[in-house]
Structure 1
């Protein structure tokens, strides 16, 4: 049999093992002794390592933070880093999220694409290479992490107790490959004076605020003006009610990841725009519209910047009211060629006025490998050689992966551009045909990395 036939012959076995992982609710749980991320992630890790042992690999559990399967000999390590933790189920599922369900080429379940399926793909790529007798002049190590979705503390622990990787990849993004990941910056905006009684919306800081409920004092004719303004927006739904001298505005926008906020509709931002257009005079409405707004480009704080690899993105995720103060989370993804000082210099003087203030929180550096670097070339060549796709090129993304936590690796597959695999959403799926193709791509990638 040729390689593709060998992979296809293992397809059902791969799905059976993927089903074992999908069956575990491995979202972040309550820490306990020896289980830093709770029961679920620890159970998923043990199952992942058991699958690896059954396939003939040496395995190591690093205190239930993460573990690895390894083959080969040598000083250098080709690393592959995937994760077994998941985000909460959420949404309205057609299928049981913790039971692998196949419908033709589609296989549904939480973690099928992010990232349990890719872990299985990488593991079987290693198995097929091992069985083929290919010369392993380096060790090949598949690291299975348990905390990628909520902080990557698993990789911080790996760096404390294990050897540095020589080169490698994380199968937790897109093909053809990711040679840069934007920097990250968080901010918090606060009202100083506001007539808004309450404003609450959004559920996570790294996604567009897609729903918002706002309560303001009633004014003559204001309800009708707001309804007119809201009718001219792109909100999915809105409702304005008036009772007991108060007006309540419900706005439903469109969700989107913070790395691509222009794909969403910010319900809080649209509400603020409509309040101003309807003639509701308020200090924080002015501040929000001037400094945050709905543009998603950071122009309100002096951060409308871009480089050849992409633009800065600016996302308001959560809005809430506590003790009469409105706060807003802000998630910023910074173009890869801009450094911390560049950003701080640009925002100086733009974060506060008499109507509100913005505080700078965490700042994370970008990740960037030149397009012509040996690592990028080795992975991109593997993708092209297997798929024949030369149209799509290595790219930079706004999201973050284990590549920012481990040295000398970049994100590489398995998602195809233009396909919505519903990761982080209901009915997440993987395509069996793409799973088989990814195994072959990862086999070629490992061989290319062994040759660097």
Structure 2
């Protein structure tokens, strides 16, 4: 039996184990004693380590921040770091997000691609390598984290209590290989004066605001003007109702990850545009449209910049109203060669006027490995040898992964270019055929890293 047949034989077992992980709602919860990220992430780690234990690996739980499964011997460690926490469900699911649902090659559930499925792909790659008798001159350690989506404090803890990795990868991005990750910048926009009674939308900061409900004072003819403007947008759905002197606008956009906001439709941004076009004069409407807007490029605050590896991206994720103030989260992915101080200088004098203000929360460095580095070459070769795809080259992405938290690793698969797995959106899925191929790619990757 060749290796592809062996992987195919194990695919049903992999899917069953993926179902065990997907069944755990591992969103960030309320911290408890011994459970720094709440009940859900701790439970997911327990299940993940139990699966690894059942497959015959040595397992260690690092205080419910993260844990790992390990094989091999030696001082050096090949690290594979994936995460078991998830983003909130959000959106309009047609499948139960916490019950794995298979339809042919498609397997639906929150975390199937981001990142519970890839954790299992790496685990089964380790199992098949171990069972094949390959000499393991280094330790191979699969780290399962519990806080990637909300800060990666799990890896900060790992760095405090465990050994440094010699090399490795995180299966939490795209094939063929990621040799750079843009810097990350967070901002908050606030209204100073607004006639908007309430505006609430979005469910996470690192995804495009996918739906929004806005309430404004009514005015003669305004409802009809809003309906006309909304009809000409790319919204999936909208409703405008008027009652008791108030107009309520519901807008349903298109979700997308904050690293690729142009793939989505910002329901809040479209609403602001339509309010202005319909003649609703308001200070914060003006501020939003001039400073944030729907262009996704940061042009409103002087951040329309790029380098050889990509453009800056700008994403409004959540809009909410509290005590009469509207706030908007802003997630920015900064070109990898641009330094934090340079970014700050570009925008710092464009963040406030009489209508609103924007506050910089943090600016983080990017990550970059030269294309010709041994780590990049080893992983890219594994991908090409398995898939035969030489058209796609190692790339720089806007997403942030554990590669920024752990030394000597880069992001490597398993998403194939051109496929929308709906991560951070409704009906997230993974392909069974893709899982089987990824296991083989990861087997080859580990062998190549053993040889470095």
TM-score of the superposed pair, with normalisation by structure 2: 0.94
CA contact (8 A) 2:255 2:425 kept: no
Residue in 2 that maps onto 1:142: 142
Residue 67 of structure 1 aligns to a residue in which SS? strand
Q: Aligned-pair distance for 1:201? A: 2.4
Distance 1:107 1:326, change over 3 A: closer
SS in 2 for 1:196: coil
Range that drifts further, 112-121 or 352-361: 112-121
Match for residue 39 of structure 1? 39
Equivalent residue, structure 1, for 2:275: 275
1:247 aligns with 2:284: no
Deviations 1:247-301 (A, max 9, x none): 3333332222211111222222222222222333322222221111111110110
Shift of residue 95 of structure 1?
4.1
In the other structure, the counterpart of 1:175 is 175
How many angstroms apart in 2 are the aligned matches of 1:283 and 1:103?
49
- Structure 1: which 5+ residue stretches go unaligned? none
Rounded Cα–Cα distance in structure 1 between residues aligned with 2:197 and 2:445: 57
What is the match of residue 6 of structure 1?
6
What's the counterpart of residue 404 of structure 1? 404
CA distance in 2, matches of 1:94, 1:238: 20
- Matched residue pairs, number? 452
Structure 2 CA distance for aligned equivalents of residues 194 and 94 of structure 1: 37
Greater than 6 Å deviation, 4+ residue runs: none
Check 1:130–1:32 CA distance in 2 against 1; reply closer, same or farther (3 A cut): same
Counterpart of 2:18?
18
In structure 2, what is the equivalent of residue 223 of structure 1? 223
Q: How does 1:89-238 map to 2 (within 5 A)?
A: 89-238=89-238
Alignment match, 1:435: 435
Quick one: distance in 2 between partners of 1:288 and 1:98?
36
Q: Which is further off, 19-28 or 355-364?
A: 19-28
2:76 and 2:166 in contact (8 A); partners too: yes
User: 1:68: how far off?
Assistant: 1.0
Residue 358 of structure 1 and its aligned partner are, at CA, apart by 1.1
Q: How far apart, CA to CA, are the structure 2 residues paired with 1:352 and 1:394?
A: 39
Task: Tell me, in whole angstroms, the C-alpha distance in 2 between the residues paired with 1:353 and 1:310.
Answer: 30
Partners of 2:101 and 2:248 in 1: how far apart? 43
Evaluate the alpha carbon distance shift between residue 219 and residue 89 of structure 1 in structure 2; reply closer, same or farther with a 3 A threshold. Answer: closer
Q: Which stretch has the larger CA shift, 247-256 or 183-192?
A: 247-256
Hey, what does 2:302 align to over in structure 1?
Answer: 302
In the TM superposition, residue 96 of structure 1 has moved relative to its aligned partner by: 4.2
- Give 1:341 shift: 0.7
In 2: Cα distance, 1:295 partner to 1:263 partner: 11
The superposition leaves residues 155-206 of structure 1 with CA deviations (integer Å, 9 ceiling, x where unpaired) of 1110110011111001111111111111111111122222333333222222
Structure 1: distance between partners of 2:297 and 2:242: 34
More moved, 24-33 vs 176-185: 24-33
Contact 2:207 2:424 in 1 (8 A): no
**Distance (Å, rounded) in 2 between the aligned partners of 1:26 and 1:34:** 16
Query: What does residue 74 of structure 1 align with?
Result: 74
- Of residues 233-242 and 428-437 in structure 1, the stretch that sits farther from structure 2 once superposed is 233-242
Please tell me whether residue 292 in structure 1 is matched to residue 292 in structure 2: yes
Name the SS for the 1:435 alignment partner. Answer: helix
Deviates more, 1:409-418 or 1:31-40: 31-40
Deviations 1:98-139 (A, max 9, x none): 444433333333322222221221112112222222222211
Deviations 1:326-381 (A, max 9, x none): 22221111111111011011012111112221111121211111211111111000
Superposed CA deviations along residues 200-219 of structure 1, whole A, max 9, x for unmatched, are 32222222223233333334
CA displacement at 1:149 relative to structure 2: 2.2
2 CA distance for matches of 1:214 and 1:422?
A: 26
TM-score, scaled relative to structure 1: 0.94
Query: SS at 2:400's partner residue?
Result: coil
CA contact (8 A) 2:257 2:424 kept: no
